[in-house]
A and B are shown apart, each in its own frame.
Chain A
Amino acid sequence: MGIKDRLIEDVGLREGVKRLTEDKIEQVVQTVLKGETGARLAAYSEICMRCGLCSEACHFYLSHDGDPSYSPVGKVQQTMAVLLKKKGRVSPDFIYGMAQIAYTECNLCRRCVHFCPVGIDTGYIMSTVRRICHKLGVTPQYIQDTAHSHSATFNQMWVKEDEWTDSLQWQEDEAREEFPGLRIPLDKEGADIYYSVIAPEPKFRTQLIYQAAAIMNAAGADWTMPSEPGWDNSDMCMFTGDFEMMGRLKRKHFESAQKLKVKRIVMGECGHAFRSVYDMGNRWVAWKMYPVPVIHSIEFFWELMKQGKIKLAKKYPGPVTVHDPCNVVRGRGHHEKLRELVRFLVDGPIIETASNREHNICCTAGGGVINCGPPFKNVRLDGSKAKAEELRATGVKTIVAPCHNCHGGLEDTVHRYKLDMHIKFLGDIIYECMEKPS
């Protein structure tokens, strides 16, 4: 039982460990432990009672028939506990397994926090393990590629500057056929809203930009999108452990909004980007709170609804179930607003999954796990069995999931477990049901 029995070949991890020696590992581990961690990690590792109460929390554990090596504390036991005990003097092979656990077997979803009486945050411990892996140069190839893209272009998908503005103009053009007079205003100084997205949107989910523009247009919003880098609010560097780059991304994003003197930033339906903004990235650059107000689409749409700015031509046929993305629900308490909005949009009840709201089970894609790519896809889907079972039990056909990562993950889960369900963004539903010019 344990990571040794389930190692998966990944060129990023393999090439990374080839360059390591025990001396080098020891030195890097010590640098991180002495330089970056403090009382928090010390207390966590000392007072974890090894009671195993957190096991039941983790979908990886639940989906693997209670294999203890997948429990939160079981994963700490195989990673950080060993580093601390051996003071960082471990073998390159150990690092391989440790990286695989930290990057692909924990979504940093923090469900385990609801189970630990002494208040241990396993997500933080796993993030710290990832930080060490990053500094050792041992990261899965696919997610590292997105991190490289961030460093080179300030977006996650190698989108070039002209491609970005081209995509926006293309979507504007398309949308003007349906909504004459619609604009996607670029670089509008002093706008109420700065709308930021993640790079996969211009890359292969352009309909999301189209829909957002349609909704902004219908609501009569004073909004803008930036033409220069900073428009991508996503942050894979946060998940690889490249915190320096995470900090640069945050600065870029906020500076771009400040340059345009906007009143606030509205983020698309992304979970992890939101986490990066209010929880992790801001701290790295020593901002207690972000310098420009930021709200997530859930809250933004909810506001529009309250102000009567979403006019529906019809309601979406229910019943539906709601998937609560960790980073905006357990991460920001948006569950009730989400439900109010869904009740407004949908004709029919919300059938809840057994674990819902802040107690939700993660989609198993989050925390950068889906971004580790094809080598780890099957493992990820094995881990989502618990989620699939809860979804199946609802008996409905539609899952509302306001997060890109959850979307990607749930699509795979629905496919693997033959759930016969489809997954909708809030924007999909609003766009589909709103009043349109005939």
Chain B
Amino acid sequence: MHEIYNLVTGPLAWLAWGIFIVGSIYRLAIMYILAKKKDAPSLAYMSWGFSLRSIINWLIPFNALGWRRNPLMTVATFAFHICLVVAPIFLLAHVALWDQFFGITYPVLDEKVTDIMTMIVVAACLIFAARRIFQKEVRYVSGFQDWLILVIAVLPFATGLLAYYQLGNYQVMIVLHILSGEIMLAAIPFTRLSHMLFSVFTRSYMGSEFGGVRRVKDW
């Protein structure tokens, strides 16, 4: 068990971060080159002001028409994304690892808070899954990729909770937790999780078109 633990916290962790960082840069670079080559009629209209205007307005819950018409999804989506990013970064146990391996320390969130945030992530995933099963317009367009990324996203959090509450074999749980976190990182550039990389650009583009060419808001 100890060897496996060393493996997942050592080489595999490096590998996962490596794939995530190099893969992301690679995907962004290739996409940029493609855009330069093929999308001149779109790039020509990109504007910082309208991009930011669009991003900011879409980041306000219940601001865009789409958010207003789908209240449950608005709450679930915002809660999910905030917790998904914040909880792992400011979790006591994670910060302790940064300290242990690299001597880096920074403030942590109270464990009770990160605990609740983790539960929120899992709960939001359950909502997403329920929509895929029960809501016909979502079921109609759901495919393997969509389920895959949902599972990839929920696993690190679910196993994290189980480990924290020492449900099941702690050793096994913690290894699974680390491993699933690494899978998630490595999967970002190469699955639909890549919306993390690209959506800022598609949002900016839409904002620029609507602001600059069409002179209306895009939210």
Contact = CB atoms under 8 A, between A and B. Distances in A.
B207 interface: yes
Nearest to B34: A39
Contact of B216 (A51, A73, A279, A333): A333
Contacts of A71: 137, 140-141
A36 to B, nearest CB: 8
Contacts of B34: 38-39, 42
A43 B69 contact: no
Contacts of A333: 214-216
Contacts of B199: 47, 117-119
B66 A117 contact: yes
A118 B195 contact: yes
B82 interface: no
A113 interface: yes
Given A53-B73, A68-B136, A117-B66, A278 B213 contact: yes
B62 interface: no
A39 B214 contact: no
A232 B132 CA distance: 48
Contacts, number: 144
Q: How large is the interface on A (under 10, 10 to 19, 20 to 34, 35 or more residues)?
A: 35 or more
B192 A51 contact: no
Q: How large is the interface on B (under 10, 10 to 19, 20 to 34, 35 or more residues)?
A: 35 or more
Of A38, A56, A283, A329, chain B has the most CB atoms within 10 Å of the CB of: A38
Contacts of A42: 31, 34
Given A42-B34, A54-B66, A114 B198 contact: no
B140 A68 contact: yes
Contact of B206 (A39, A53, A73, A113): A113
A39 B39 contact: yes
B7 to A, nearest CB: 32
Interface string B117-157: 00000000000000100011111111100100000000000
A284 B218 CA distance: 23
Of A1, A57, A114, A120, chain B has the most CB atoms within 10 Å of the CB of: A114
B139 A46 contact: no
B105 interface: no
A225 B45 CA distance: 32
B137 A38 contact: no
- Ranked 5 nearest A-B pairs via Cβ: A38-B38, A115-B66, A333-B215, A68-B140, A39-B35
21 contacts: A38-B35, A38-B38, A39-B31, A39-B38, A40-B39, A43-B198, A46-B198, A47-B199, A47-B202, A49-B192, A53-B73, A66-B137, A68-B140, A113-B218, A115-B65, A117-B66, A117-B203, A119-B203, A329-B216, A332-B215, A333-B214
